[in-house]
Structure 1
């Protein structure tokens, strides 16, 4: 009986965990406690960055272990008690050649794919279909959709007292210190150009799942781009120290279908809060159905 109850408790816990991860996966990606890796990539660029990081580990790990072994060997082999009379060797030609040529070859193996990745980051694969201007302020963001009829709004951290009014009380979906009052909404599988600038001090527009991080400099407009491949809600933050509330300057991007985006954009030009609530209701309803189906 005790064994049966233990198994039942385990299955219930597993079911709860499955439901939790089903719900969070439907809402895309965000930081999690004790995270040791990158957030799951939502763009091809982020997959390339992740792949390059894994590639460099094939060099970092062996070099670290080799240096550790050499240090340990030298400490043990050439300690004072074992070598009362120190060696007089001043140089060794073979060793000089090895530790000069070796690092050069290793750096070439790292540099060539690094340059390719850097080039890809500044070379979009297609012309952008949507352009958004992101302006950093202390400590919020202004977004301007450069469409036929321009849409402009501010996005700031969501205060706890405003959660109920905004319909964002679920902290698994809208986490504390990351949720905002108005998300940047973009269509899925659409090349999106982001023009980044600032009004006061230097900020930085960063979205880990998209593999983008671009400084927002007053008086200057920088450009970055992304093509999100998965619908959901993604979180980033200002990644440049910008004052006392730097830690309270989140970025939230909601990726939706093309139809949902067009409907939201048309409604947001006259009623942004209403358009956001309608979109949230539709997206949350779809996610509940998806989670129940799992």
Structure 2
């Protein structure tokens, strides 16, 4: 039994991904890249220690009942209808367990739903509009010629035979031509919307997921505490190319973010893409043939 326990704990401790890219066969959540996701991971670990003994206990009861109280072992069936003490126990114990879970889950739900109390001047505001099948990012606070900075983030891979292969710099079905860029250690407000059907903006490493609904603005927030590249995908079935609608977010330093903004506000998408490649030591991405 000891080796079984060791193997189970080893599996539970395996990281789900490295460098923001999911790995085949991995277990658990992606490594947290935000304080909110760290809390979600901690809550998940607490639930594991609750559900594992509950599952083992219920399985043991089923086996005992099936073996000890089957028709072959009991020629004459019992005729009692209930047991008051057992009914009290199996009512109170689940209630206590649920109250214990609620003690941790309700504050977490509140923190994820309520925008933090920070200086609005330091918040980065981005509108993420889902389209079939790409994302339009609008930096609502960055105004150029009376209009906010806006660009379309297209997937590199679309399931086509002539598209580029997936690489470490541009993982298959996850990379885009121009990602959302945000500064590290900064609260980012994302307002989601859609131009056609319902989409969903989800980035596992940040612990965020909110529907993008036509005619309605939903809101989420995150604070990335590590620089790097993080991936997500549309998480609401939205049509034939739903599988090719990734989200890529680059978290950079404040100085790099300001330098990137200068290039984007100059209406030079190619220059902005080249700059991202330089600061992350990557090769500029090759776009899919169909835009």
Provide the C-alpha distance between the structure 2 equivalents of 1:162 and 1:79, rounded to a whole number of angstroms. Answer: 61
More strand by share: 2
Q: 1:95 deviation in Å? A: 0.3
Contact 1:131 1:193 in 2 (8 A): yes
Provide the C-alpha distance between the structure 2 equivalents of 1:217 and 1:239, rounded to a whole number of angstroms. Answer: 12
Which position in structure 2 is the counterpart of 1:176? 172
Provide the C-alpha distance between the structure 1 equivalents of 2:22 and 2:95, rounded to a whole number of angstroms. Answer: 37
Specify every segment of 5 or more residues in structure 2 that has no aligned partner in the other structure, as ranges: 1-16, 283-291
Which position in structure 1 is the counterpart of 2:125? 131
Provide the C-alpha distance between the structure 1 equivalents of 2:142 and 2:78, rounded to a whole number of angstroms. Answer: 79
- Is residue 31 of structure 1 aligned with residue 22 of structure 2? yes
Which position in structure 1 is the counterpart of 2:202? 206
More helix by share: 1
Contact 1:39 1:208 in 2 (8 A): yes
Render the CA deviation track for 1:108-165: whole Å, top value 9, x for unaligned: 01112111110010223333511000000111100000124221000121048565xx
Provide the C-alpha distance between the structure 1 equivalents of 2:53 and 2:198, rounded to a whole number of angstroms. Answer: 38
Contact 1:126 1:191 in 2 (8 A): no
Counterpart mapping for 1:207-226 below 5 A: 207-226=203-222
Q: 1:170 deviation in Å? A: 6.8
Which position in structure 1 is the counterpart of 2:275? 278
Which position in structure 2 is the counterpart of 1:288? none
Provide the C-alpha distance between the structure 2 equivalents of 1:225 and 1:190, rounded to a whole number of angstroms. Answer: 10
Provide the C-alpha distance between the structure 1 equivalents of 2:46 and 2:169, rounded to a whole number of angstroms. Answer: 33
Specify every segment of 5 or more residues in structure 1 that has no aligned partner in the other structure, as ranges: 1-23, 164-168, 286-294
Provide the C-alpha distance between the structure 2 equivalents of 1:39 and 1:245, rounded to a whole number of angstroms. Answer: 24
Following TM superposition, the consecutive aligned residue runs of length 4 or more in structure 1 with deviations greater than 4 angstroms are: 160-163
CA RMSD of aligned residues (A): 1.6
TM-score norm. by structure 1 comes to 0.83
Render the CA deviation track for 1:159-197: whole Å, top value 9, x for unaligned: 48565xxxxx77122111111111101111111000001
Which position in structure 2 is the counterpart of 1:158? 156
Provide the C-alpha distance between the structure 2 equivalents of 1:162 and 1:262, rounded to a whole number of angstroms. Answer: 32
Contact 1:186 1:255 in 2 (8 A): yes
TM-score norm. by structure 2 comes to 0.84
Bigger relative contact order, structure 1 or 2 (CA pairs below 8 A, ≥6 apart): 1
Three-state SS of the structure 1 residue aligned to 2:141 is: coil
Render the CA deviation track for 1:23-45: whole Å, top value 9, x for unaligned: x96xx312111121111000000
